[in-house]
């Protein structure tokens, strides 16, 4: 790797970044938190759907389809956002200080998968909590005491 870097310097080859995440080392788990809350809200709304009287309007299945779509999309977004932070931000020295870090990300990914496969607000709630745990560690590595004071207001009513 060192030889390659020397060679590139010698030949005047500069690096151009085909970035797949936020460039310049800017990371923030808040995107994952908002996506996880969206999954929770969609799950709760789906659980509240009552088809016991049958489908009387096409808007009912349309509404359900939209909720499912949002739930799927945002569960995947939770995975994407967390995995970028997991693979690109956290380093071995963080792992030494927070040995449970890998487990947290692993569990968050599994929970995100569960919320995609099922309509399960309990899992979605756990997903939000685990994203908060990861956020606490993330901000602690930057010397910041993490508190999402507007979490409930952002989530709003069902």
Partner 1 sequence: MNKLLPFINQFRLFNISGRSMLPVLSDGDVVITTSRIDFYQRGSIIVFTHNVNKEILFVKRIIGLPTEIFNYNGSFKNIRIHPDEIFVLGDNQLDSFDSRKYGPIKMDQVLAKIIFRVWPLHKFGLIK
d(CA 83, CA 81): 6
d(CA 100, CA 81): 19
d(CA 113, CA 33): 16
Token pair of 150, please?
A: 């507007």
Residue (98 or 105) nearer to partner 1, CB: 105
Is residue 100 within 8 A of residue 133, CB to CB? The reply is no
Phi then psi for residue 143, to 5 deg, are: 75, 25
Give the total of residues touching partner 1 (CB under 8 A). 16
Shortest Cβ 32–partner 1 spacing (Å): 15
Tell me, residue by residue from 119 to 138, as one string, x for binding to partner 1 by CB under 8 A and - for no binding: --------------------
* Residue 58 lies near partner 1 (rule: CB under 8 A): no
Tell me, residue by residue from 10 to 39, as one string, x for binding to partner 1 by CB under 8 A and - for no binding: -xxxxxxxxxxxxxx---------------
* Residue 80 lies near partner 1 (rule: CB under 8 A): yes
Residue (25 or 54) nearer to partner 1, CB: 25
Positions touching partner 1 (CB under 8 A) are: 8, 11-24, 80
């Amino acid at each position: 790797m060192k030889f390659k870097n020397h060679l590139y310097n010698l030949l005047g080859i500069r690096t151009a970044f085909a970035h797949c995440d936020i460039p310049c080392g800017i990371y923030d788990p808040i995107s994952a938190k908002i996506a996880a809350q969206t999954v929770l809200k969609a799950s709760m709304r789906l659980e509240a759907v009552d088809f016991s009287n049958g489908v009387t309007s096409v808007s009912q299945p349309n509404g359900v389809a939209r909720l499912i779509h949002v739930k799927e999309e945002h569960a995947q977004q939770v995975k994407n956002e967390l995995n970028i932070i997991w693979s690109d931000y956290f380093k071995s020295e963080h792992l030494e200080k927070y040995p449970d870090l890998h487990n947290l990300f692993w569990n968050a990914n599994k929970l995100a998968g569960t919320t995609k496969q099922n309509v399960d607000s309990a899992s979605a709630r756990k997903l939000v909590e685990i994203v908060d745990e990861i956020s606490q560690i993330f901000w602690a590595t930057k010397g910041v005491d993490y508190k999402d004071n507007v979490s409930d207001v952002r989530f709003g009513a069902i």
